């Protein structure tokens, strides 16, 4: 569990550590459909569901 002292620390963490869907697609070399299947199978945990 992470604890942030202020908004700046939170924003820094999000910028440095959290990947967007397109970034995950690029890093893993997979399609959005594959990402969705991995989420459904519990292999990836989305940070924010749309």
Expressed as residue numbers, the domain containing 23 is: 17-45
Going by pLDDT thresholds of 50, 70 and 90, the confidence category of residue 1 is confident
pLDDT value of residue 47 = 80
Q: State how far the alpha carbon of 27 is from the alpha carbons of 3, 16, 23, 24, 34, in Å.
A: 27, 15, 6, 5, 13
As given in the structure block, the two tokens for residue 21 are 């869907």
Q: Residue 2: phi, psi to the nearest 5?
A: -100, 145
Q: Does some domain include residue 22? A: yes
Q: Does some domain include residue 1? A: no
Tens digits of per-residue pLDDT, 4-50?
Answer: 999 999 999 988 988 999 999 999 999 999 999 999 999 998 887 65
Output the pTM of the full model.
0.67
pLDDT value of residue 22 = 94
Q: Within the chain, where are the H helices?
A: 7-17, 21-28, 32-40
Q: Does some domain include residue 2? A: no
Q: Does some domain include residue 32? A: yes
Number of domains in the chain: 1
Q: Does some domain include residue 11? A: no
Q: Does some domain include residue 35? A: yes
């Amino acid at each position: 569990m992470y604890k942030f002292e202020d908004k700046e620390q939170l924003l820094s963490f999000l910028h440095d550590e959290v990947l967007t869907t397109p970034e995950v697609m690029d890093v893993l070399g997979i399609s959005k459909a594959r990402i969705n299947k991995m989420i459904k199978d519990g292999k990836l945990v989305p940070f924010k569901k749309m």
